[in-house]
Amino acid sequence: MNHEDLLKFAVIAGKTILENGGETYRSEDTIERMLNNKVERVETFVTPTGIFASIENNGKIETTITRVKQRDSDLNKVALVNDLSRRFSKESLDTLDFSKYADELIKIRSKGKYSFLLRVFFAGVAAASSGMLLGSTIRDFIPTFITATILQCIVTYFEGLRLSTFIINIIGSAFAALLGLAFSHFAIGTLNGIIIGSIVTLLPGVAITNAVRDAIWGDLISAVSRGVEAGMSAISIAAGVGFVLNIWYVIGGKL
């Protein structure tokens, strides 16, 4: 087995963590941990959009660059890869059964999420409960639940079409505002409660928090790019909601 394969394998493991909502430093740590006792020197530089890694052996340096384009939140994969990397780091180079680990990583990467219906249902539960925490009344619970479940269906559909997050957020939040208006017009729940509750599932919560976390860790480039990601999401959500509410106001509806 050669060092190129080791490097490739470790970078794919790091990429899996980054693509599925793991932190930047965890991805860096994973690659370094996996290779530390197998090569002379390993250096990595990970940003939210790409991984640079190089190893040095007998004075020869090998480097690889990997772009990371899609981002998702699938914490199960982060946990599985984390576990795999810890076991891998304990293996020594002589006794390592490389193909076993490679198969395991491929299997992890192809794992699916919970079933669609379950995810839609819990999106509704999460949104309606968050709405309750953010100050809605119990009257908003059912309409928020309905809005969020339909919203989740729409988001999943458009994600399947590989539209950008920006567009998905605009369409989704516009739809949430539309349903909020419909419900509040017939006096089922309040407008603000329904909108704030149901857009919770779109909000860039992970990005905002990871941005500040990266900044404190000293990963300044990651912090800036995650901050931009969070800002873009917030703007697109507000644009979608603002668009619908504005039209409603102009044609003479009450807000």
Partner 1 sequence: MIQQIFFGFLATAGFAFLFNVPLDAIVVSGLSGAVGWAGYLLVMKIYPSTIAATFIASLFIGIMGEIFAQKKKYPTTIFVIPGIIPLVPGAYSYKTVLAIIQGNNKQAFDLGLQTIGIALAIAAGLMFVISFARIMRR
- For partner 1, which residue of 6, 14, 18, 23 counts as binding (CB under 8 A)? 23
Q: Which two tokens stand for residue 31?
A: 């690659």
Of residues 167 through 206, those in contact with partner 1 by CB under 8 A are 196, 199-201, 203-206
Identify which range of 41-49, 54-62, 97-105, 113-121 contacts partner 1 by CB under 8 A: 113-121
Per DSSP, the three-state class of 78 is: helix
Element (H, E) at 51: strand 50-57
Q: Which two tokens stand for residue 237?
A: 């959500």
Phi, psi at residue 251, to the nearest 5°?
-80, 10
Compute the CA torsion angle 167, 242, 137, 124 (nearest 10 deg): -10
77 near partner 1, judged by CB under 8 A = yes
> Which of 168, 212, 2 is CA-nearest to residue 98?
2
Q: How far is CA 233 from the centre of its chain?
A: 12
Minimum distance from CB of 223 to partner 1 (Å)?
10
Listed ranges 51-59, 96-104, 111-119, 163-171: which one lies at the site for partner 1 (CB under 8 A) = 111-119
Is the Cβ of residue 57 or residue 82 nearer to partner 1 in the bound state?
A: 82
Residues that bind partner 1 (CB under 8 A): 21-23, 26, 73-79, 82-83, 113-114, 118-119, 122-127, 129-130, 132-134, 196, 199-201, 203-206, 208-209, 211-213, 215-216, 230, 234-235, 237-239, 241-242
